[in-house]
Structure 1
Amino acid sequence: MKNLKTLLFITLMSSLSLTAQNSNTKKADKEFERFEFVKAAKSYNKLVENGKGDAYVYGQLAESYYNIFNTVEAERWYAKALETSNDPEMIYRYSQMLKANGKYKESNEQMERFASMRPSDDRATEFRKNPDYLPKILEQGKKFNVQNAMFNSEQSDFGGTMDNGILYITSARNDNRKTYGWNNEPFLDMYRLTKNSDGSYQEAELLNDKINTKYHEGLASFTPDGNTMYFSRESYFEKDYKKDSLSNNRFGQLYIFKATKLGSDWDTVEPLSINSANYSVKNPSVSADGKMLYFSSNMPGGYGQFDIYKAPINDDGSIGEPVNLGQKVNTEGQEMFPFISSNNTLYFSSNGHLGLGGMDVFYTKEIDGKMAPIRNVGIPISSNADDFAFTIDEESGEGFLSSNRDGGQGGDDIYLIKKLQPLCDVLVKAIVLDDKTREPISGASVTLFDNQGNKVVSKPTNSEGIAEFIVECEEDTQLEVEMPDYNSRQVVVKGTRDEEQEVQISLDPIEKLIVADRIELEPIYFEFDKFNITAKAAFELDKIVQIMNKYPDMTIKTTSHTDIRGSESYNMRLSDSRAKSTRQYIISKGIDESRITAEGKGESEPKIDCSGGCTKEQHQENRRSEFIIVSGAPQAQ
C-alpha cells in the first residue's frame, strides 16, 4: 500500500538520520520515538540552549511541535532547519504552518518553492491552479449595467449626485470660461439637471455665480435635509496660492466649501476649517445621517499621494478633526472620490489597489471600528481606464459613474449605472445564545475560517451576543465559537449571494459532554495510516482540556482504535501511536501527565463489524478515539 510505504520510508529516513547523530540527542530521540513530543521538544530545546543545535535538532523540534499542533513553534523551527536543508516535505509542512498562522504570502512563497521541486505532486498542481487577481476580477460576473448618459458633452463631464430629483454634475462645457492648460478645456463649472418622470433629464443649467467662479468647481454632496451643499473649489478664489519664482505660474490647492440653500438656490458660501494652503482637500461625501464628512486629501501624515479621510460634522455645522481611514484603505498610490452610501458602504477610486488599470472602483465597510477587506467592484464598473466618482442609491440600485474609457462623447463622461445583483460581500451576523435560557452570551470568542480552513479573524460577541464578519459571496466559511464553561461549536456557513446572513449558534454547558463514565466528543478521526493531530482533532481535544481544567481531580484514559485494513500487529502499533499523540496533545495544553493514560486497541473493538466488507465512511468510523473517566467525575446535577 502506498501510504504504508510512505510511512516506512519516513521511519527509515529518521533511523538513518539518527545514526548520524551523537549521544547528545539520544535522550530526546528516544522521547521522540516514544511519541513523547512535549518532552522531546523540551529536550531538543535544551540542546539548542547549550549550543548543540543543528539542522537535525531544528528539524526534530519542528516535527515535535507539528505533531502536537503547536503551529507557531513548528513554523519557527522549520524555518531554522530549512536554512541548511532543501527537503521538499519539510518545505511543504513549513508552508502549512505559515498558512495556519495567517501568513498567506509567506506560505505561498514556500508552496511555490515546493511546487518547483515537486511539479507533478497533486499538492503542487492544485496550488498552481489558483488564479491571480486579474482573472478573479474579470470572471466574477457583471453586477451592473452601464450606459453612457445622453446629457454628456464633447468636453469633460463627471460626477453625479442626486438631491430631491435634481442631478448635480461638473462639466467643462462652459465656453465662456478660459481654457485650462492641463487639457485645453474650459475651467470646470457645476451644473444641475432636473430628472423627468420617464427617467430622462432636462437641459443642464449652470449654477449661480455664488457657486461657480472663473476657476474650477468640483463634486458636490448634500446633507440629508438638502439644505447644505459641500463642494470642491480651487483656492485661487480665496487668493490662496503660491507663485513659482521661475515660471511665475500660480499653484493653488483644492478646498471644500459649503453653501446654504436660500429658497430654490444656493447662497452663503464659506470654506471649511480643514482647508490649508499647504495641501488639498476635495471630493466631499456626506454620510446618510449627516454626521460624517468623507473626503480625499494629500495632507501630511498620509500613506500615499492622496488618502481618504473622515471628519465629524458637529451639531453647529463645524467640522471636527480629520481621521485617516488607515492603510487597509489607503496605499502609496492615490485613493480619491469617496462615496459613503445609505448602508454605510464606502466606495472609492484607487490606482494603488490591484485593478485592471488606471483608477478602479473599490468598496469596503466599517465593522466594529475596522474596515472590511477591500473589494474591486469589477467589470463593467472598473475598466482599464480611469473610473471614478461612483455614486449609488442602495434602494433603487441606480447611480452614476465617471470614466474616460473608450466609446464616450468627451474626455470624461458620465455613465448611468444599474445594479443587477448584489456585490460579492456578505455580512455574516453570528448570534450566540445559551441553549437552555435562550439568552445572548456576551464575550464568546467567534473565529471565522475561510473555505480552505485558514483562520481569518477572531472577535468577541457584544452585549447582544452578536459578532459580525464580512465574507465573499458564494464562498463556504466556518465559524468556531468558544466560551468558558460551554461546549465549543463549529458551524459551516454555506455561501450565498444575500447581502446579509444571520447564523444562530446555541451553546450547551460543557458538562453535557459527560455521559456516565465517558466524555462524548464529536468523533476524532485520523487519516488512513496517520497519527498526527489535525486541526479538527485539536478543536475537539481542547474540550477535554477545558473539562479537566474545570475538574482538577479528574483523571481519564484515552483509547485509540483502527479499522481492519492492515495486519493486526501493525494496527496495534498504529493505534498505540495515535493514543500517545492524543495524550501528548492534552499534556501540551498544561494537563499534568499523571492525569491521563493512553492505550491502543488496534482493530480489536470495532464500532462497525467490517468482516463482511465496509464502505470508506464505515472504515473511518472505526478509526476513532474514546475518553473514559477513571476518577473525579462531577456529581450528577
Structure 2
Amino acid sequence: MKNFNTILLLTLMSGFCLTAQNKDTKKADKQFARYEFVKAAENYNKLVENGKADAYVYGQLAESYYNIFNTEAAERWYAKALETSDNPEMVYRYSQMLKANGKYDESNQQMDRFATLRPSDDRATAYRKNPDYLPKILEQGKKFNVQNAEFNSEQSDFGGTMNDGKLYITSGRNDSRKTYGWNDQPFLDIYTISKNTDGTFQEAELANNTINTRYHEGLVSFTPDNKTMYFSRESYYEKDFEKDSTSSAKISQLYLFKATKLGDDWDMVESLAINSENYSVKNPSVSADGKTLYFASNMPGGFGEFDIYKAEINADGTIGEPVNLGQKVNTEGQEMFPYISSNNTLYFSSTGHLGLGGLDVFYTKEIDGKMAPIRNVGIPINSNADDFAFIIDEENDEGFVSSNRAGGKGSDDVYEFKKLQPLCDVLTIATVLDDTTREPLSGATVSLFDAEGNKVVSKTTNEDGVAEFMVECDENSELEVVMDGFDSKKVQVAGSNEEENNVQISLDPIEKLILPESIDLAPIFFEFDESNITAQAAFELDKLVQIMTKYPDMVINATSHTDNRGSDSYNAALSDRRAKTTVQYIISKGIDESRISGEGKGETEPKVNCSSGCTKEQHAENRRSEFIIVSDTAE
C-alpha cells in the first residue's frame, strides 16, 4: 500500500529492532515513528552509504519501503536484514514482497521458513495445508473484467459506494490540504461523482465541510433508506491522540462517525460509541436490511493486527456490542475493508489468508451461524499488489475495487469491474419431498459427505424441506437423507461451477420396503474376510430397525453369505460370524433378541455363480446379508 495505510492507521511497524537504535539512527527513527517513511528511508540509506549500517538499519529500511509499497527495495533490505535475523514476522513480510515481485518459488521458500519458525500461526498452518495454492488461484480463470476508472487522479483514490445516483470515493487530490509524512501526499477527503446516463462520470466534487475536515476521512456506507451515512475519520478531530515516547509525534486512531441526510446534503455528524482512544475502528459496511454494521478494528481480544467485527444497529440508531467474526475469517495478519452484499456474501481484504501478494480480496457467507470456507476472489480482481475496498451490486454484477497495482494513474486507483462468471463456491440447495404426496418434509436430517466419504456437516430441513450447503466448485459430494417413517436415501452430487446447485430428493414411506416375504433393503455387503458392520451396512440396517419398531410383531431372519474364495468350512464359519454381527447390530438399536435371528449360508447360495471365475465386483455381490420375514402383522 502506497499511502492509505496512514489514514486507515494500520500501524504496520512492529519495531522489530527498536532496542538497537543509537545516536546515528536517532533522526531516521523519529521520522519512522512519525510515519515519514520517505524521509526515514533517505536517512537510513545515508547510514548504509557511510558504512554505519547494521541489521537494525537494514530492517528499518525494509519496513520503510514495505509501508510505501516499494516492493523491490523492501525485498532487497529484508534479505539483508534476515542474513543475521530469524524474526518470524519479518520473514513473513519478506515472503509477501517476493510474491509481490512475482518470485513465487522464492516466496514459498520463505513461507517454509516462516512455518518452521512459527508453526502454530494460522498463516503457517494454512500454507502447510495447501502449499500449492498459487497455481490454483491463478488457474481458476478470470471471472471479472476490470478497467481503470476514468475519474482517477495522480494522487490516491479508493472506494466506490453508490448512493442516490452519486458515487462516493476517498481521494488525496485536494491540493489545498496539508501533506502528510507517509508519502508526502495531501490528507484525504470524501468526494462525490455523479454518473451520466451513458455510464461516464462527471467531475469529482468535495463533500461538504461537515463531512470533510483538515484530517483524513475514509470509506463510507449507507443505510438502506439512504438517510444515514457511516464513514471513517481520524480521531484528531475529537482531540483524541497519543504522543509517541521516542518521537513526540501525535498518533491518532481512526473512528467511525455517522451523518444524517438533511434535505439534499449531509449534516449532524456524530461519533459512534464503539470508538476508543485505545484502538481504531474503520471501514464501515451496512447490511442490506440495515440491521448490522460490519467494520474493521484492532481492539483488544482479536486474532491479529486488524480483525473484522459486526455489531447490531439498534432501532434507535445506537450501535450494539462488537462481535468478532472469528478465527475462520480473522488471522494473525490484517483483515480489513469488509463489504456485506445484498445476498449476505461478505467480501473483505486480507494479508493473512493465502493470496497473490499484499492485500487480496476474499469472500465467504454465513450459513446457519457458521462461516463458509474463505475463498480468494482470484485474478484480475487480485494482483500481486494491494487489492481492497471491493464493492459489488449483486443484481447487475458490477462494482468497484481499489488497488495500487502497476499501470494505474495514481498511487491507489479505483477500478470498475463486471463479473463475467460465478465465483468458485457452489450453494447446494437440497429439497426433501414425500414421494407420495410431493409435499416438503420438514425435520429430515441431511448430511453432506465429501468426495472421500468424510462427513462434513449435518443439517435439518426447514419448513420448506430445504437444507443448504456451501460446496467448493467442481468438487463431487454426496447427500445422505434420513427421516423417521421414510426410506433413507443417498444421492451423488456432481461437482459444478454454477452459483447454486438445486438437488431434489424424494423419500418413500418406509412401508414400501415391506415385500410379501422379505424386506427390500439394499444388500448388506462386507469387506473381504471381514464380518464387522460397515457404515454402508449400518445405513441400510437402520431402515430395518425403523420397520421393526413400527411393527412390533414382525420377526426377521437374517441370512449371511460369502463369496467362494476359501474353503467350505471357513466360509460357513465366516458367514455365521456375519449373521451374528448383523443380529447384534439390530439388537443394539433396541429390538428384542427374540424378534431377530441369523443364519450363515456360507457360499452355498451365491447371487452370482463364480464357478468359472468372477470379477472383484461380482465377488462383492456374493458377500451379503438378506432379510426374510418370518412372521408379521404389518397388514
TM-score with structure 1 setting the length: 0.74
What pairs with 1:36-185 in structure 2 (closer than 5 Å)? 132-185=132-185
Query: Cα gap change, 1:580/1:357 in structure 2, threshold over 3 Å: closer, same or farther?
Result: farther
* Structure 1 vs Structure 2 CA RMSD: 2.7
Partners of 2:535 and 2:140 lie apart in 1 by 31
Q: Deviation at 1:456?
A: 0.6
Partners of 1:529 and 1:281 lie apart in 2 by 64
Q: Deviations over 1:137-174 (max 9, x none)?
A: 23222222222223322222211111233221111222
Partners of 1:483 and 1:222 lie apart in 2 by 45
Q: In the alignment, which residue of structure 1 is the partner of 2:91?
A: none
2:359 is the alignment partner of 1:359? yes
Q: In the alignment, which residue of structure 2 is the partner of 1:388?
A: 388
Partners of 2:303 and 2:129 lie apart in 1 by 34
Q: In the alignment, which residue of structure 2 is the partner of 1:223?
A: 223
2:194 is the alignment partner of 1:199? no
Partners of 1:404 and 1:535 lie apart in 2 by 53
2:281 is the alignment partner of 1:287? no
Partners of 2:485 and 2:293 lie apart in 1 by 45
Partners of 1:377 and 1:315 lie apart in 2 by 34
Cα pair 2:554 2:634 within 8 Å, conserved:
no
Q: Deviation at 1:189?
A: 1.1
Partners of 1:153 and 1:577 lie apart in 2 by 80
Q: In the alignment, which residue of structure 1 is the partner of 2:501?
A: 501
Partners of 1:139 and 1:428 lie apart in 2 by 23
Q: Deviation at 1:607?
A: 2.9
Q: Deviation at 1:491?
A: 1.6
What pairs with 1:428-439 in structure 2 (closer than 5 Å)? 428-439=428-439
In the alignment, structure 1 segments of 5+ residues that lack a partner are 1-127
2:634 is the alignment partner of 1:635? yes
Query: Cα gap change, 1:569/1:148 in structure 2, threshold over 3 Å: closer, same or farther?
Result: farther
Percent identity between matched residues is 76
Q: In the alignment, which residue of structure 2 is the partner of 1:330?
A: 330
Query: Cα gap change, 1:444/1:234 in structure 2, threshold over 3 Å: closer, same or farther?
Result: same
Q: Deviation at 1:422?
A: 0.5
Partners of 1:135 and 1:542 lie apart in 2 by 44
Partners of 2:174 and 2:202 lie apart in 1 by 17
Partners of 2:288 and 2:516 lie apart in 1 by 58
Query: Cα gap change, 1:502/1:246 in structure 2, threshold over 3 Å: closer, same or farther?
Result: same
Query: Cα gap change, 1:573/1:140 in structure 2, threshold over 3 Å: closer, same or farther?
Result: farther
Query: Cα gap change, 1:247/1:131 in structure 2, threshold over 3 Å: closer, same or farther?
Result: closer
Paired residue total: 508
User: What is the one-letter code of the residue matched to 2:356?
Assistant: L
Partners of 2:138 and 2:566 lie apart in 1 by 50
Q: Deviation at 1:285?
A: 0.8
2:309 is the alignment partner of 1:309? yes
Query: Cα gap change, 1:354/1:518 in structure 2, threshold over 3 Å: closer, same or farther?
Result: same
What pairs with 1:27-38 in structure 2 (closer than 5 Å)? none
Partners of 1:518 and 1:334 lie apart in 2 by 63
Q: In the alignment, which residue of structure 1 is the partner of 2:34?
A: none
Once the two structures are overlaid, the 10-residue window that deviates more, 302-311 or 606-615, is 606-615
Once the two structures are overlaid, the 10-residue window that deviates more, 527-536 or 195-204, is 527-536
Q: Deviations over 1:497-522 (max 9, x none)?
A: 22223322232333332222322212
User: What is the one-letter code of the residue matched to 1:308?
Assistant: I
Q: Deviation at 1:311?
A: 2.0
Q: Deviation at 1:363?
A: 0.9
Q: Deviations over 1:263-295 (max 9, x none)?
A: 433222222222222222110111222222111
Partners of 2:248 and 2:618 lie apart in 1 by 86
Q: Deviations over 1:302-352 (max 9, x none)?
A: 332222122222333332333222222222322110101111111011222
User: What is the one-letter code of the residue matched to 1:296?
Assistant: A
What pairs with 1:419-498 in structure 2 (closer than 5 Å)? 419-498=419-498
Query: Cα gap change, 1:420/1:545 in structure 2, threshold over 3 Å: closer, same or farther?
Result: same
User: What is the one-letter code of the residue matched to 2:634?
Assistant: Q
Partners of 2:432 and 2:234 lie apart in 1 by 52
Cα pair 2:560 2:575 within 8 Å, conserved:
yes
Partners of 1:404 and 1:558 lie apart in 2 by 71
In the alignment, structure 2 segments of 5+ residues that lack a partner are 1-127
Query: Cα gap change, 1:593/1:382 in structure 2, threshold over 3 Å: closer, same or farther?
Result: farther
Q: Deviations over 1:236-283 (max 9, x none)?
A: 112122233553321221111122334433222222222222222110
Partners of 1:488 and 1:413 lie apart in 2 by 55
Partners of 1:142 and 1:575 lie apart in 2 by 57
Q: Deviation at 1:392?
A: 0.7
Partners of 2:485 and 2:255 lie apart in 1 by 57
Q: In the alignment, which residue of structure 2 is the partner of 1:347?
A: 347
Q: In the alignment, which residue of structure 1 is the partner of 2:401?
A: 401
